[in-house]
Structure 1
């Protein structure tokens, strides 16, 4: 608890050390991660959840929260303006694709959680799905990648929290890799369900046209 109290008491001072761009990054990162830790779980179709869902979703929440603390305290000395700007752009991309996908799904059934035991009944290929097959997972990973980019040069043990600051880049990268492994496993699981459904032919054609996590598709070449 002493460590927590120390982090809380040091927060105002660290905030004042940040440039305006870095403060914007912190606010955007906080809003984005809070959104991803609350809105998707609240809108899941609970009836199809599996044991893996109940294990992995809380783990993913930890992967968002823990790095954010390290990123905040490392940020005053760990990122130049270019790194911070790249981080901001990644978060903007993340929010854009997340909310675009959310609003695009309003006419569809409730969003199912990763590893849910449901059979696909429709295939979305419009909106953000026209650019990337998994816009939600792409958005989630983009904000985590942003966290690593702004802490990749963190190595300043002279800070009040030397371990946290010096290892911020490693913490952010570890969270990204764990999340990527979970999301990739979820994608493989979901695509296997499509392959076993009546939508197999449509889905195979869609896979050949649109990338899995990057917004690269034949639409870009038209």
Structure 2
């Protein structure tokens, strides 16, 4: 069962990663890929290579691989829900300095302000669990930091638009990456 699960983890993880890559040209609309977006892309590719190595060199319990796959599939569902909700919004690449054109607050955006980043974090967390090595925690922490910096950067862009007051109200009712339970995030 080990080889079959390793193959399944590899196939599912790479298929989801390919859909994230598709979003660069198929969903987001910046004119050029800025240095920050290029850095995120390089980071993601290096993480994928790292997790492939871990998947094929570390012995994982089947339960960890199944749990990790489940989390990756959950991330994929969130990713496509975010695509559907933001299809008409003309979202830009990460770290694009252009002012946001719209404030999306439907679909997963009604729960969290950055559902794409949440889906990416869930994806990498799933692969970390499936790889079942403490060595997977290093890239996971780097990914979480990178997407947190990106989210805060994008939130600061709203402060310079006519949507600033609407964004503050939106921010007060939604969580950054996770649905708001209590308090302010």
Q: TM-score, normalised by structure 2?
A: 0.85
Map of 1:151-170 to 2, 5 A cutoff?
151-152=131-132, 154=133, 169-170=134-135
Structure 1 unaligned residues grouped into runs of 5+: 1-15, 155-168
Deviations 1:169-218 (A, max 9, x none): 31x21211111121111111000011221111111111111111124468
Structure 2 unaligned residues grouped into runs of 5+: none
Runs of 4 or more above 6 Å deviation? none
Q: Does 1:45 align with 2:25?
A: no
**Counterpart of 1:102?**
83
RMSD of aligned Cα (Å): 2.2
* CA separation of 1:48 and 1:209: change in aligned 2, threshold 3 A: farther
Q: Does 1:18 align with 2:3?
A: yes
Q: Distance in 2 between matches of 1:192 and 1:205?
A: 14
**Counterpart of 1:139?**
119
**Counterpart of 1:174?**
138
**Structure having the higher Rg:** 1
* CA separation of 1:215 and 1:69: change in aligned 2, threshold 3 A: farther
Match of 1:79 among 53, 57, 61: 61
Q: Which deviates the most, 83-92 or 94-103?
A: 83-92
Q: Distance in 1 between matches of 2:9 and 2:32?
A: 36
Q: Displacement, 1:140?
A: 0.7
Aligned residues: 181
